[in-house]
């Protein structure tokens, strides 16, 4: 496998090896460009993975942990941010493959409306609601690329409102579970259009990887048989096979350096032994996720860039969007055993569009699942019923007969929701820590409650014995880290251009969740990855033409 | 760490790292499960029978409290799962960063018990009805929340951490600890 010396000037350093970084690595390496991917976490193999909820949710098994990867949280700028003891507020995976390792792998495309919603609906005052600089049609070929090159199972043509697609899915949907049967039954009675869930999980052997063995540990876990398409098993080995790409694990980037002309020169990082290194590069691509990318830019401030690298707009870190997920819990007469197999097998997009008649902005999508795995389910089930004692224990016995409808909704872009650098807190490497400031827009919560009522209707129509609503309270934990370096045509109102080049720095590119202008309706990874395929093509072209 | 190595070694021995195409995934998943189960029983065999962090009086109160959160009836509860041993072990090792708030919270909890029941020696010494009555007055406090979370962890997390003994938590839920399943999964997808 190819390796490079840090003193060697490679064509590209990519920071992050997740959904976006893993794809960019392959696209650039395929174009015969030399690439070093710096990944803060370790390389993890299928045989390292365990069904260990405590380790994965509390001890940083794959993800950030509250001891080494400290982050602080507050709701508004008037509060002092506090670092939570249980879990950092931005919960992402730090390993080769990034959060594509531990995601649920729901692969929803955004729709045409997502890219031009501001034009259709008009301004929403006090928000950064905006159109994208690209259309669905421009991104469609790359969505199809994700379907076929990453591997997405699903069934096209069933949803009358689905966006146009140039090719069918390469695999049939994963077999329906009991939750899917009930969800579909209820939704159909109401005249709605439930469809099989598109998943980046193999329903049949595909891409040299086996089909799902139905173990049930997708959400928050790595796939032991590689049926779930983490980039660690898809594009990353392909990038390495080109002979042009080194994946350097346990390499935690602290700073992007710039020269007197304002060009980036490479990335400073801590290696596995904690020693500082510097990898020289002709250009840098940031794909470290919507939290870490913004933090890295802000921590890379210097004389030429006093408010952070690539931040002349002042928008680096701003417009953070989480998506909201409200829950409906339902009990049925017979066993569903939802802890088995993939998390989701049916979804519903009938309420995708925002409807002014509702009196607030928002749209969403519903899916069905158990929610988290058993221990976490048991802990969380106290939130909408008895929290302890006999009643709680009775509730726990209902686990096999329970399911959940998840109601995923939009988040509006607000400047007051953002990533900044905590003035005092540092992580275990001494790097100034992320401070998250976040309070859901009232419309986000209104939409979540509205969609939750639709979830209740579906479960009641399906014959649920008892349906309860989970609490809809302000967010304090996020898996979707979006919007913090948004793309746009106007350098005063965005951080990167429509090809992901930083407006302020010619040889700096940014492509990950931070690029998103709007939040979609939950499930952003498909779009992040389509953007990465598209960005990879354009960035490779720039490099070949010596335009970096 | 030792458990992971054991498991990886098992898989290596099975030839999981041979050329692509020769992978026998069901066999690998089975091996994964066997290694997982072996690690669990080894850990349980070594689980502590004495408290290393909590004093006897504190341990008795924690045991009484967690046993009210998940009581024992016709099926095992927090007591049989070894939740107090789990908490003792957790706060002394992997959850050491939770210890200051927990111990401070426990002191506050005990002070509140003394204020409410001046004649009682401790929370553990109260009758079950009294314990339940008192808990209704404190079940929204951060300490109770933390105790509830630790009880959930001790009851339902992997037995290798010292709780969920004999998988009693998983049996309560009806969860089968397996690495592969075959459809149908439930009644409605038959």
Q: Tens digit of pLDDT for each residue in A155-173?
A: 999 998 888 999 999 999 9
pLDDT value of residue A384:
86
Model confidence at B1: pLDDT above 50: no
Contact between chains at B139 and A210 (C-beta distance less than 8 A): no
Both B146 and B107 in a single domain? yes
Q: Are residues B38 and B70 in the same domain?
A: no
Residue B82 is assigned to a structural domain of this protein: yes
Q: Are residues B78 and B167 in the same domain?
A: yes
Statement to judge: residues B163 and B81 lie in one domain: yes
Return the H-helix or E-strand segment holding A378: helix A374-380
Cα distance between residue A470 and residue A382, in whole Å: 10
Over residues B146-171, the pLDDT tens digits come to 999 999 999 999 999 999 999 999 99
CA torsion, ordered A496, A501, A503, A507, to nearest 10 deg:
150
Average pLDDT over residues B90-118: 97
Whether residues B28 and B77 fall in one domain: no
For residue B49, the model assigns a pLDDT of 72
Domain shared by B94 and B168, yes or no: yes
Contact status of B110 with chain A (Cβ, < 8 Å): no
Question: What are the pLDDT tens digits along chain A (548 aa)?
Answer: 899 999 999 999 999 999 999 999 999 999 999 999 999 999 999 999 999 999 999 999 999 999 999 999 999 999 999 999 999 999 999 999 999 999 999 999 999 999 999 999 999 999 999 999 999 999 999 999 999 999 999 999 999 888 899 999 999 999 999 999 999 999 999 999 999 999 999 999 999 999 999 999 999 999 999 999 999 999 999 999 999 999 999 999 999 999 999 999 999 999 999 999 999 999 999 999 999 999 999 999 999 999 999 999 999 999 999 999 999 999 999 999 999 999 999 999 999 999 999 999 999 999 999 988 999 999 999 988 999 999 999 999 999 999 999 999 999 999 999 999 999 999 999 999 999 999 999 999 999 999 999 999 999 999 999 999 999 999 999 999 999 999 999 999 999 999 999 999 999 999 999 999 999 999 999 999 999 999 999 999 999 999 99
pLDDT of amino acid B6: 42
Instruction: Kindly report the nearest CA distance between residue A238 and chain B, in angstroms.
Output: 14
Note the pLDDT of residue B29. 61
> Which residue in chain B is spatially nearest to A49 when comparing CA positions?
B4
Task: Residue B183: list chain A partners with CB under 8 A.
Answer: 175, 214, 341
Residues of A in contact with B97 (CB under 8 A): 66-67, 85
φ, ψ of residue B186 in degrees (nearest 5): -145, -175
Residue B2 has pLDDT above 50, yes or no: no
Q: Is the pLDDT of residue B127 over 50?
A: yes
| Residue B25 banded pLDDT, cuts 50, 70, 90 | low
Same domain, B35 and B97: no
B39 and B13 belong to one structural domain: yes
Q: Which residues of B touch A52 (CB under 8 A)?
A: 157-158, 160
Chain B residue nearest residue A403, CA to CA = B186
Confidence of residue B22 (pLDDT cuts 50, 70, 90): very low
Domain that holds residue B14: 2-45
Residues of chain A positioned with their CB less than 8 A from the CB of B152: 375, 378-379
- Residues of chain A found within 8 Å of residue B71, distances taken between Cβ atoms: 389-390, 393
Contact A388 B148 (CB under 8 A): yes
Q: Identify the residue among B87, B99, B140, B173 best suited for mutation to test binding to A, counting A beta carbons within 10 A and taking the highest.
A: B173
All residues of chain A having their beta carbon less than 8 Å from the beta carbon of residue B161 are 54
**Do B32 and A47 lie within an 8 Å CB cutoff?**
yes
Q: What is the number of structural domains in chain B? A: 2
- Own/partner contacts of A465-469, CB < 8 Å, gap of 24 or more, are A465/A331, A465/A332, A465/A333, A466/A330, A466/A331, A467/A328, A467/A329, A467/A330, A467/A331, A468/A328, A468/A329, A468/A330, A468/A384, A468/A385, A469/A326, A469/A327, A469/A328, A469/A329, A469/A384
Q: Domain check: are B62 and B29 in the same one?
A: no
Are A294 and A316 within 8 A, CB to CB? Answer: yes
Q: Which of A388, A392, A398, A402 to mutate to test the interface with B (most CBs of B within 10 A)?
A: A388
Does position B11 have pLDDT exceeding 90, yes or no?
Answer: no
* C-alpha angle A128-A133-A136 in degrees, rounded to nearest 5: 110
- Closest CB to B29: pick one of A180, A213, A378: A213
Q: Is residue B100 part of a domain?
A: yes
Cross-chain residue pair A47–B11, CB shorter than 8 Å: yes
Nearest CA in chain B to A61: B1
How far is the alpha carbon of B178 from chain A, nearest alpha carbon, in Å?
7
Q: Which B residues, 22 through 81, put their C-beta within 8 Å of a C-beta on chain A?
A: 23, 25-26, 28-29, 32, 36, 68-71, 73, 77
Q: φ and ψ at A388, to 5 degrees?
A: -165, 170
Q: CA of A212: which chain B residue's CA is closest?
A: B180
C-alpha A105/C-alpha A102 separation (Å) is 8
B118 and B143 inside one domain:
yes
Q: Is B168 among the domain residues? A: yes
Q: Could you give the angle at the alpha carbon of A545 between the alpha carbons of A544 and A548, nearest 5°?
A: 90
B165 and B87 in a single domain? The answer is yes
Chain segment A140-157, per-residue pLDDT in tens: 999 999 999 999 999 999
B171 touches chain A (CB under 8 A): no
For B171, the closest chain A residue by CA position comes to A397
CB A299 within 8 A of CB A257: no
Cα B180 from Cα B186, distance rounded (Å): 15
Number of residue pairs across A and B with CB atoms under 8 Å? 164
Residue showing tokens 């404190």: B138
* Residue B4 scores a pLDDT above 50: no
SS3 A65: coil
Say if residue B66 is in the same domain as residue B144. yes
Assigned domain for B182 exists = no
Q: Is the peptide bond before B184 cis (omega within 30 degrees of 0)?
A: yes
Has residue B186 been placed in a domain? Answer: no
List the single residue in B with minimal CA-CA distance to A396: B173
- Residues B70, A388: C-beta atoms closer than 8 Å: yes
B148: chain A residues, CB-CB within 8 Å:
379, 382, 387-388
Residues B88 and B52: beta-carbon distance below 8 Å:
yes
**In the prediction, which pLDDT does B7 show?**
42
- Please check whether residue B51 lies inside any domain of the structure: no
Whole-angstrom distance, CA of residue A373 vs CA of residue B64: 27
Predicted structure pTM score: 0.94
Candidates A297, A257, A251; CA nearest to A281 is A257
Q: Does B137 touch chain A (CB under 8 A)?
A: no
Specify the DSSP class assigned to residue A476.
-
For B175, which of A176, A178, A374 is closest by C-beta distance?
A374
């Amino acid at each position: 496998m190819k390796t490079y010396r840090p003193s060697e000037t490679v064509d590209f350093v990519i920071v992050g090896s997740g959904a976006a970084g893993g794809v960019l690595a392959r696209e650039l390496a395929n174009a015969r460009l030399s690439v070093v991917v710096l990944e803060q976490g370790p390389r993890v193999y299928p045989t390292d993975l365990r069904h260990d909820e405590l380790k994965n949710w509390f001890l940083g098994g794959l993800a950030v942990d509250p001891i080494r990867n400290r982050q602080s949280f507050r709701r508004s700028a008037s509060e002092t941010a506090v670092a939570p003891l249980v879990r950092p507020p931005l919960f992402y995976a730090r390993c080769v493959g990034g959060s594509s390792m531990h995601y649920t792998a729901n692969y929803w495309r955004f729709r045409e409306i997502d890219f031009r919603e501001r034009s259709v609906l008009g301004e929403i005052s006090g928000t950064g609601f905006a159109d994208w600089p690209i259309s669905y049609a421009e991104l469609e070929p790359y969505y199809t690329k994700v379907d076929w090159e990453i591997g997405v199972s699903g069934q096209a043509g069933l949803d009358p409102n689905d966006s146009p697609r140039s090719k069918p899915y390469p695999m049939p949907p994963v077999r329906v579970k009991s939750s899917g049967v009930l969800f579909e039954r209820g939704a159909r009675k109401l005249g709605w259009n439930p469809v099989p869930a598109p998943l980046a999980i193999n329903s049949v052997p595909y891409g040299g990887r086996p089909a799902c063995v139905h173990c049930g540990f997708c959400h928050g876990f790595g796939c032991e048989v590689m049926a779930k398409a983490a980039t660690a098993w898809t594009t990353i080995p392909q990038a390495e096979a080109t002979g042009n790409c080194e994946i350097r694990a346990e390499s935690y980037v602290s700073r992007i350096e710039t020269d007197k002309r304002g060009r980036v020169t490479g990335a400073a990082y801590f290696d596995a032994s904690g020693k500082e290194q510097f990898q020289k590069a002709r250009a840098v691509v940031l794909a470290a996720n919507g939290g870490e990318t913004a933090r890295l830019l802000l921590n890379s401030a210097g004389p030429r860039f006093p408010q952070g690298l690539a931040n002349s707009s002042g928008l680096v870190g701003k417009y953070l969007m989480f998506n909201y997920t409200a829950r409906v819990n339902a009990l049925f007469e017979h066993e569903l055993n939802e802890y088995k197999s993939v998390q989701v097998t049916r979804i519903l997009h009938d309420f995708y569009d925002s409807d002014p008649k509702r009196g607030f902005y928002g749209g969403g999508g519903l899916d069905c699942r158990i929610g988290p795995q058993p221990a976490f389910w048991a802990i969380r089930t106290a939130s909408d019923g008895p929290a302890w004692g006999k009643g709680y224990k009775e509730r726990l016995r209902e686990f096999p007969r329970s399911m959940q409808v998840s109601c995923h909704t939009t988040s509006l872009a607000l400047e007051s929701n953002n990533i900044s650098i905590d003035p005092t807190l540092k992580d275990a490497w001494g790097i100034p820590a992320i401070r998250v400031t976040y309070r859901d827009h009232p419309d986000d919560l209104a939409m979540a409650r509205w969609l939750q009522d639709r979830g209740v209707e579906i479960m009641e129509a399906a014959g649920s014995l008892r349906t309860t609503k989970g609490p809809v309270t302000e967010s304090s934990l996020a898996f979707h880290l979006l919007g913090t370096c948004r793309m746009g045509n106007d350098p005063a109102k965005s951080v990167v251009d429509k090809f992901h080049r930083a407006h302020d720095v010619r040889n700096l590119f940014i492509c990950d969740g931070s690029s998103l202008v709007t939040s979609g309706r939950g499930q952003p990874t498909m779009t992040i990855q389509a953007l990465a395929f598209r960005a990879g093509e354009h960035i490779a072209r720039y490099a070949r033409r010596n335009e970096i | 760490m030792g458990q992971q190595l054991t498991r990886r070694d098992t898989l290596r021995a099975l030839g999981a790292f041979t050329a692509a195409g020769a992978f026998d995934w069901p066999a690998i998943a089975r091996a994964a499960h066997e290694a997982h189960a072996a690690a669990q029983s080894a850990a349980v065999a070594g689980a502590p029978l004495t408290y290393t962090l909590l004093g006897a009086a504190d341990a008795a109160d924690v045991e009484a409290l967690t046993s009210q959160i998940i009581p024992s009836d016709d099926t095992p509860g927090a007591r049989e799962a070894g939740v107090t041993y789990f908490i003792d072990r957790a706060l002394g090792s992997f959850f050491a960063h939770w210890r200051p708030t927990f111990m401070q919270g426990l002191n506050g909890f005990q002070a509140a018990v003394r204020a409410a029941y001046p004649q009682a020696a401790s929370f553990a010494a109260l009758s079950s009805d009294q314990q339940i009555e008192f808990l209704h007055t404190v079940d929204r406090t951060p300490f109770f929340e933390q105790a509830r979370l630790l009880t959930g962890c001790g009851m339902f997390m992997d037995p290798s951490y010292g709780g969920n003994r004999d998988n009693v938590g998983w049996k309560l839920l009806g969860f089968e600890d397996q690495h592969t399943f075959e459809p149908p999964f439930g009644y409605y997808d038959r």
